[in-house]
Amino acid sequence: MSKITFLGAGSTVFAKNVLGDCLMTPALQGFEIALFDIDHERLQDSANMLNNIKKTSGSTSVIKSYTDRKEALRGAKYVVNAIQVGGYDPCTITDFEIPKKYGLRQTIADTVGIGGIFRNLRTIPVMLDFAADIREVCPDALFLNYTNPMAVLTNVMNTYGGVRTVGLCHSVQACIPELFKSLGLEKEGVKAKIAGINHMAWLLEVTKDGVDLYPEIKKRAIEKQKEKHKDMVRFEMMLKFGHYITESSEHNAEYHPYFIKRNYPELIDRFNIPLDEYPRRCVNQISRWKQMREDLVNDANLTHERSHEYASYIFEAIETDVPFKIGGNVMNTGLITNLPREACVEVPCLVDRNGVTPTYVGDLPPQLAALNRTNINTQLLTIEAAITRKRDHIYHAAMLDPHTSAELSMDDIVAMCDELIEAHGSWLPEFS
């Protein structure tokens, strides 16, 4: 019996999407769905939910919960990762509140920036523990990483974990539908080419019947910017740098030095930037969980429709040898020629029985590659800090972050990092 292992299975809603999709996929019938989470109550919730879907869908897969991670992984053909180390309380709160004392405001704080750096530093040791188990009990498994910070964690698993890893993000498949809906354009028949880095990949080409749609997109974007909407940062970046970005405006507001600035507070209102957005989402999700739990876990008649998540389509393509195209996060083995080879990049990939094969992109437009490199700098220094356990590299990563360095002095950055290290306590390894 082939096996799909889900690490972080207590993420019940996400488990419904990814594993519910697997239960609905003919090529994946008869698989064992192995669930692991350190929160045993949430683990059981997810198992109950998936068994309800199994019953209503008629799936022949077997749902099995594990409290021993190595046994959950043993013999797995595919591993899906959706963990969050430290959760909302205390770690996300810490990531937002201490920088705020220094005048550094954030929106999501899960990719780069101070929040992204510290989320990486507490997650990388756990991921490397996963990698050690995988090398021992399922060395040929394909590891699909959904956990942020996507680029760094996928890089670490490939470079230091010795595990065949592809990172997956919703933003690629959502890019065209969201953009075209916002501008009142019809997306049917549209061809697009997207590449860059995670959360800052670029819509390089967008055509229909051989016609370049960018002139019409930009014309409508100029009109759209005359009124408040939720995507003002991305539209502004497109109009200034020439290309649309895959990830949302609330994310991109903190990836650049242009939008969240103490000396220009009017920019927050002008570009409709939702400061402290991620903590609000966490609080809302926690408050809604009681009702969601009732709807998901205790509904014996729960059904599921296959979602747009890539995981089941990847497994299906490998099992059936029917090709499927994805946007995947992989190591830059010369795929994007004007980005560092040691970086993780997001490029079109072909999936079939051979696995996930990335495609060659070549040079990005120089201004786009330059913007990507500003974030790659922080990513690579964060990895250096995590692997060497040298505190200086944490400072370097923070001082090279575009938003942080635009707001704070070097002395304040060092003091803030020291305070964050102390506040995280046992959530972080020791740094010399």
Separation CA 254–CA 95 (nearest Å)? 14
Find, among 99, 102, 135, 133, the residue nearest to 117 by Cα.
99
pLDDT at 411: 98
* Total number of residues shown for the chain: 432
Instruction: Kindly give the pairing relationship between strand 165-167 and strand 142-145.
Output: parallel
Q: Among the options 40, 170, 251, 424, which is catalytic?
A: 170
User: What whole-number percentage of the chain has pLDDT above 90?
Assistant: 98
Cβ proximity of 19 and 48 under 8 Å = no
Separation CA 218–CA 216 (nearest Å)? 5
Extract the residue ranges of the chain whose pLDDT is less than 70. Answer: none
**Cα 213–Cα 232–Cα 198 angle in degrees, nearest 5:** 75
pLDDT single digits (tens) 121-140: 999 999 999 999 999 999 99
This prediction has a pTM of: 0.98
Separation CA 172–CA 194 (nearest Å)? 7
Separation CA 221–CA 216 (nearest Å)? 8
pLDDT single digits (tens) 37-62: 999 999 999 999 999 999 999 999 99
pLDDT at 290: 87
Largest distance between two CA atoms of the chain:
61
Q: What are the b/e assignments for 40-51, b being 16+ CB within 10 Å?
A: eebbbbbbbbbb
Going from the C-alpha of 380 to that of each of 117, 373, 394, the distances in angstroms are: 10, 10, 11
Q: What are the b/e assignments for 12-25, b being 16+ CB within 10 Å?
A: bebbbbbbbbbbbb
pLDDT single digits (tens) 397-409: 999 999 999 999 9
Per the annotation, the verdict on 170 as an active-site residue is yes
228 CB neighbour count, 10 Å cutoff:
10
Query: 33 in helix, strand or coil?
Result: strand
